[in-house]
Structure formats: C-alpha cells, structure tokens
Structure 1
Amino acid sequence: MTKLQIPRRFYPLWYLLQGIARLPFGVLYLLSDVLYFLLYYVTGYRKKVVFKNLQNAFPEKTEAERLSIAKQFYRNLTDIVVETIKLAAISPEELHKRVKILNPEVISAATNQGKIALALGGHQCNWEWAPSGGIPFFNCPIDVVYKPLSNSFFEAFIWQARTRLGPNMVRMKDTLRYLIQRKNQPRLFCMLSDQTPPKSEIQYWTTFMHQDAGFFVGGEKLAASFHMPVFFIHAQRVGRGWYNFKFIPIEPSEAARQTAFPVTEQFTRMLENWIQENPADYLWSHRRWKHQRPVGEAS
C-alpha cells in the first residue's frame, strides 16, 4: 500500500501531532492527565455510554466499584491517545523495551511449518502498539486488518503511525483477496474481533458480559478456508506505557462446539474472562451492545 497523502490544508495539524509525538513520555503523560480531566470532568465524553456499559457488564459490582473502574478507564483511554500519537515517532528500540511478546515461539512453530497464524484480539490495553511492538519478535510479516477512518487526515496520520515500523495494514474489504495472494507465505495475521458488525451483517449472536451481542465471524471462516491455527491475544498493562502480550491457542470447549461458530464462541468466552480480570483496560466508550438480538434468533 502506498503512502497516503495529506491534504495541504491539514499540514499545520500534521506538524503539531508530529511535534507531540517527539515529546518525552513524561511530558506526554502530563498531557494525558490534562486530557483525562477534560474528558471526564469537563466534557463528560461518552459518560452515559460508559456507565451504561459498566452497569450491564458488572451488575454484581457496587456503584462505587463501577465508578472506580470508569475513572481508571478514562485514564487508560487518554494514555492510549497519547501513546498512539507517539507511535508516529517512537524509535524501534524504545518500543521494543516497552512491548514484550511473552511466547513468540507458539507463532513461530506455525509459521515455520509454512502456515499463516491467525491472532484474534479485542480492544484491550493498547491494541495500537501490539503489531509494531511485535515486529522484533517474529521472523515473518505481521498483517493487521483495519477499517479505514472516515476523516482523510486522521486516516493518513494513523496509517503512517501504524505502518512506519513494519506492520502491513489490510483493509477489511480486501482481506480475502489479500490472503489468497499470500496463501503460501507464512505470516501472522491479526484481527480485532470484538467490533460491532452492522446489524444486517450479524451472522452470530451470543451472550457477552451478560448482554446479547452480535459478532463478526469472518476470522473463523478465514481460519477454516486457509487452515490457520487460531490464537487469542492476551494483553497485560504492566505499567504506564509498558505492555505484555501472549498468544493463547483458541481450542473450543464442548459447549462452544455445540454452537454454529465454535471458534468465535470460544474467543468471546476468553475475552470475557480477560475483561473480568482487567475491567478498566477494555474500551467501554464503544457502543458494543447497540443492536438487539432478533426475537427467536439462536446462537
């Protein structure tokens, strides 16, 4: 994919973000603290969505517990914002110190056999750093499926930030053609599988954090078509700006195998367990449960 062009009218904003990206982490986190105050206390950015999601996802928790999770979520969110900007200028050496892949050998075991390994993740911790941070740990290309942003400037900025250290970005609509062209080339192929499909495209409904939720099943279908081993991306925030990632094989349980899409079902249960362990590190501002399951629609 060729470099995306920045419209000339956006040059001042481009240079501003590039300048921010070159600030030391200490200054960036001061900016994050200010941004947290503005989002949480001043503008109330998506507060209704966040608190509704938390109330439905954690009915067993007290209001005080959910409030604590919400505040920490907003702090984590603003950290992700400045860290994503930092991706536009961070050195490979600095990122390699801050992002660790704990078990790259499980992916290498697959790619060394000539296979494409499929990794399914969610909006956990800083999902933006994982592909670029993972480059030094693997001897194969890393591909990431993404949906282009509607704003041309931010699409160009984020695309450059995501690709400058090596990952390949694959538009969602180009996924099948991309894999067919590279079916004999070992690689790590990554997808965020917790996004909300358009209601007309939902092929699988299940319960996710006590709520009905529709899921994309493209990853499972691709895995079957291209004989890919499938892994769950387990993320851990070690500290501010420090992350560990681990790949866990997705092996459907007996209950999951009773459903129409067992890999998707098992991924959902693994993500659900991760959220229970790391509640403030999930993307609660996303309207994940906006669609209602049609009457009579089974899993």
Structure 2
Amino acid sequence: MLSRLLYYLIIKPISLLPFWVIYRISDLVFVIIYFVVGYRKKVVFGNIQRSFPEKSPKEVKAIMFKFYRHFCDLILESIKGFSISSKEAQKRMGSEHVEIINNFGKQGKDVVLIGGHYGNWELFAIAVGPTINIKPIALFTPLLNKFFDKKVKASRSRFGLNLLPSNEVKVLMNKDNDGNKMVIFGSDQSPRKTQRAYWMTFLNQETGVQFGAEKFAVTHNCAVVYGHIYRLKRGHYKISYQTICDDASMMEYGEITKAHTRLLEAEIIKEPAYWLWSHKRWKHTRPEGEVLHD
C-alpha cells in the first residue's frame, strides 16, 4: 500500500513535470542530501581519496561536491524516465558510432555491450531500443518490492529494451529463431564471490572485477563493444560505441576484462564526478594466492 501511494502520489506526478522544474527539485534534494543528511559522504570521500591519492583533501571535496550535484540530477532524471517520451529520451541521449552495433547485426553477430555506472545509464536503457537493429537485453536483479520491480521493468522496457534475469538470458541466447541480441553488462559492480573475480589494479587499488561479461561473450562467440556515456551538459548525454573485439572466443584469457576496465578507468580519471562513487566497491580483498594481473 505504501509503495503504491509513493508511486502514484509522488513519483508519477514528479515524472510528469517539465525538466526545468525537475532540476529545481534536484537542487533542493542536493541541499538535503549533501548538507543536511550527509548521505554516504564518508564512503564517497574515501573512495575518491584512495582512487586519487595525489589529490589534496580540498580537491577531493570539490569532486565530491560535483558528484553529489550529478547524483541528485540522476535521481530526478530517473524519476522523469517513468513518463519521458521516446523522442525526448533520444534527444537527451545522443548516439555516436551506432553503426558499429548495427554492422554486427547485419553480419548476424550477437553483441556484448559493456559499460560502467557512469553518466546516465538509466536514460540510455530507455533510449537505446529504437537506435539499433538488434534486440537489446539488460540483465537485472529483481527488486524485493514486487510493485516497484514491476514499475521499474515497465519503465525501462517501454521502447524496446528487454530485461531478463541472468539465468534466463542463457536460454534466450540458445534460441536459433529469436534474432540477434545485444546483451548489456555493467562492469563496475563488486563481485558477490571474490573467487569469481578477475583481480587487477583499478584506480590505484587492487580490485576484483566481475568476469561474467567476458565469460558470457566467449561462451556465445559474441562481438564485444564498450559504451562510453558522456555528459554534454545538464540533462544531455551521449553514448559512443567502441569495438573491443569482433569475436570474444579468439581473445586471450582476461584480455576483454582488462580492456573494458581500462576504458572505464580512463573515463573516470578524465571526469571523475560522473561515476557512481557512493557504492562500497572495494569491500573485498584479494584472496591469498589469487593472481593480480597487470
């Protein structure tokens, strides 16, 4: 009952507001989250400080400040996503080098698209469907709240994105008559089991990188593409595609994981404020005997 009230009395009405009002609300939310509540400020400060040990506390706080402004915009933009039109979504999430995806589709190749929680990945999920010629699939973990799980899936999949649990996408990939697919992986989540991680140095820290994207791509002989999401200005972004390989099965072990991790790292170093710093990404330590790759 509370979930329904929250959605129909707050979230849905806010999503119908014009963007200029959305950003005034975001400004207010920023004041509350940053100055009043101090949401995860210790986590964010620690993550940035360890990632950029050469920066002074003043410089770290400047990145923090900019991150929280973007974070609040991201929250409100995600709410706006419940009502945004396909035309407006594509206007605010431009595409560059989309021919890379479409050419693989013409060749009859399945694609693994890898990216990080950088820029506005929620807007990309809404906008991507009409821009490519193969079926986009995003892996997801169902929300515990069944009402919001249904609403979020409906919102993200309105314009062609297919949302599937990990165990179901393997079955879908084996269907010969279902057309070519682009399976989207977030590469920067902390692995649930450290022994399944690929350990390497990332942002000056030993990091267990999820290996699932590479394993999946190799198993299904997919092409692998990285998706850069750039913030152009407030409320406007661009996805730019970059090929990592034409056939994952031909790559050496770990080569794909290293490639997409270094691409994400370069994005963060260039514009650190637009990565999701509020997660505890370094909560695991490398198990004894586990190799640390270059």
TM-score, normalised via structure 2 length? 0.92
* Maintained 8 Å contact 2:4/2:147: no
Q: Which amino acid aligns with 1:261?
A: G
Q: Which amino acid aligns with 1:199?
A: K
Per-residue CA deviation, residues 173-209 of structure 1 (Å, 9 max, x unaligned), is: 3232232236862122211111111135523111111
Matched residues, number? 287
Q: In the aligned structure 1, how far is the partner of 2:177 from the partner of 2:223?
A: 14
Question: For residue 174 of structure 2, what is the aligned residue in structure 1?
Answer: 180
**1:246 aligned residue (232, 240, 243):** 240
Q: Which amino acid aligns with 1:194?
A: D
Q: In the aligned structure 2, how far is the partner of 1:100 from the partner of 1:126?
A: 12
SS in 2 for 1:74: helix
Deviation at 1:251, TM superposition (A): 5.0
Per-residue CA deviation, residues 62-84 of structure 1 (Å, 9 max, x unaligned), is: 21111111011011111111111
**1:47 aligned residue (35, 41, 44):** 41
The answer on 1:135 being equivalent to 2:118 is no
SS in 2 for 1:249: strand
The answer on 1:228 being equivalent to 2:237 is no
Q: Which runs of 5+ in 1 are unaligned?
A: 1-7
Per-residue CA deviation, residues 82-107 of structure 1 (Å, 9 max, x unaligned), is: 11111110111111211111111011
SS in 1 for 2:174: helix
**1:145 aligned residue (121, 139, 146):** 139
Structure 1, 87-96 or 172-181: larger mean CA deviation: 172-181
Change (3 A) 1:9 1:61: closer
* Maintained 8 Å contact 1:183/1:226: no
What is the correspondence of 1:150-165 to structure 2 with a 5 Å cutoff?
Answer: 150-165=144-159
Q: Which amino acid aligns with 2:261?
A: T
* Maintained 8 Å contact 1:88/1:164: no
Question: For residue 67 of structure 2, what is the aligned residue in structure 1?
Answer: 73
Q: In the aligned structure 2, how far is the partner of 1:278 from the partner of 1:174?
A: 36
SS in 2 for 1:128: helix
Question: For residue 18 of structure 1, what is the aligned residue in structure 2?
Answer: 12
Q: In the aligned structure 2, how far is the partner of 1:266 from the partner of 1:104?
A: 20
* Maintained 8 Å contact 1:142/1:168: yes
Question: For residue 203 of structure 1, what is the aligned residue in structure 2?
Answer: 197
Q: In the aligned structure 2, how far is the partner of 1:237 from the partner of 1:209?
A: 21
Q: In the aligned structure 1, how far is the partner of 2:178 from the partner of 2:86?
A: 28
Q: In the aligned structure 2, how far is the partner of 1:197 from the partner of 1:148?
A: 17
Change (3 A) 1:9 1:280: closer
Change (3 A) 1:183 1:196: farther
Q: In the aligned structure 2, how far is the partner of 1:23 from the partner of 1:143?
A: 29
* Maintained 8 Å contact 1:116/1:183: no
* Maintained 8 Å contact 1:251/1:266: no
Q: In the aligned structure 1, how far is the partner of 2:149 from the partner of 2:195?
A: 24
Deviation at 1:140, TM superposition (A): 2.2
The answer on 1:285 being equivalent to 2:285 is no
Change (3 A) 1:166 1:251: closer
Question: For residue 297 of structure 1, what is the aligned residue in structure 2?
Answer: 290
Change (3 A) 1:201 1:159: farther
* Maintained 8 Å contact 2:92/2:236: yes
Deviation at 1:108, TM superposition (A): 0.7
* Maintained 8 Å contact 2:3/2:148: no
Structure 1, 121-130 or 58-67: larger mean CA deviation: 58-67
Q: Which amino acid aligns with 1:266?
A: A
TM-score, normalised via structure 1 length? 0.91
What is the correspondence of 1:261-280 to structure 2 with a 5 Å cutoff?
Answer: 261-280=254-273
Structure 1, 279-288 or 130-139: larger mean CA deviation: 130-139
Question: For residue 3 of structure 1, what is the aligned residue in structure 2?
Answer: none
